[in-house]
Amino acid sequence: MGVLAVLVLPLLLFGISGIIYIYRAVIQLMSKSAVKNKVVVITDAISGLGKECSRVFHTGGARLVLCGKTWEKLEALHDALISVADPSVTFTPKLVLLDISDINCIQDVAKEILDCYGCVDILINNASLKVKGVVQSVSLELDKKIMDANYFGPITLTKALLPNMISRRTGQIVLVNNIQGKIGIPFRAAYAASKHAAQGFFDCLRAEVEEFDVCISTVSPTFIRSYHIQPEPGNWEASIWKFFFRKLAYGVHPMEVAEEVLCTVSRKKQEVFMANPIPKAAVYIRIFFPALFFAIVASGTKDKQKVEEQK
């Protein structure tokens, strides 16, 4: 009896783990079947997340249109995808040069995208540009560049492809955003502003196009982990702000985000927030206890400035 009691807990944990694994496998299989033959446009496909999104949608049988601003990297991605996928169940990806921050060229690029298959079923706005620095050190020119890449670029491409979806009364647009579309973090003012703007735009668009059966989704991870992680310079781990906003395990891996984007598309989720408990708590503290939130942020800012002065 004693031995049986000892074995119950491990067996129970093993059984639960098995059920969770099977559930995830089924969901993943259903997600891939949902995008089969769909025309999927991915911007900045040559980034870490863009490559992972390309991989999961390609193996799911989607007809990919991969956009990026470097032709050589697009070709390398194209070769990598077709070398590992079964050609009998996949489509050869089409490549389109696109610098999302070049607003003047987007209309022409949108026409080129539509010419690939005659329609777009899913648009994944993945392109993004980051900047870090105190407000007074970031030039207005750089502020505008960030807004072009993170806000005006995605909404211009969205507006160019949206009429096709509305006329067909089907389609989905996914914005890969960031936690900074929800809360502002010091030394990233321009980036946070662009992400807030994008979040607001697509929230409004969601309501406007619902009657046309066009789905608008936002996927907001905290931080997307790079493949090669380097330690951050400086040592201010004791800072409250650093603890509050630290990149737990260096953020979410691009593969996890790509799988979530695929699941979001297949289940037509409206909003997904990928975060560990501390960043999630930060969002709610910002809403319900703003004074506490601002105090924590200000404390961390002072700590960082002290470290910079010592250095």
| Given the residues 117, 191, 250, 284, the one annotated as active site | 191
Buried b (16+ CB within 10 A) or exposed e, 111-134: ebbbebeebbbbbbbbbbbebeee
**Sorting pLDDT into bands at 50, 70 and 90, what band is 299?**
confident
**pLDDT band at 2, cuts 50/70/90?**
low
As a whole number, mean pLDDT of residues 169-175 equals: 97
pLDDT tens per residue across span 3-51: 555 566 666 666 766 665 564 545 455 545 689 999 999 999 999 999 9
Q: Per DSSP, what are the bridge partners of residue 215?
A: 172
In this prediction, residue 17 carries a pLDDT of 62
Q: Give the CATH number of domain 23-238+249-276.
A: 3.40.50.720
50-85 confidence digits (pLDDT tens): 999 999 999 999 999 999 999 999 999 999 999 988
For residue range 216-246, list pLDDT tens digits in order: 999 999 877 665 444 444 444 444 445 444 4
The residue extents of the domains of the chain are 23-238+249-276
250 is catalytic: no
Which single residue is written with the structure tokens 């050869």?
Answer: 92
Condensed to tens digits (0 to 9), the pLDDT of residues 99-135 reads 999 999 999 999 999 999 999 999 999 988 888 889 9
- Residue 274 — left, alpha, or beta (φ > 0 → left; ψ -120 to 50 → alpha)? beta
Residue 128 confidence (pLDDT): 84
Q: How many residues does the chain have?
A: 311
Give the residue carrying structure tokens 């601003």: 69
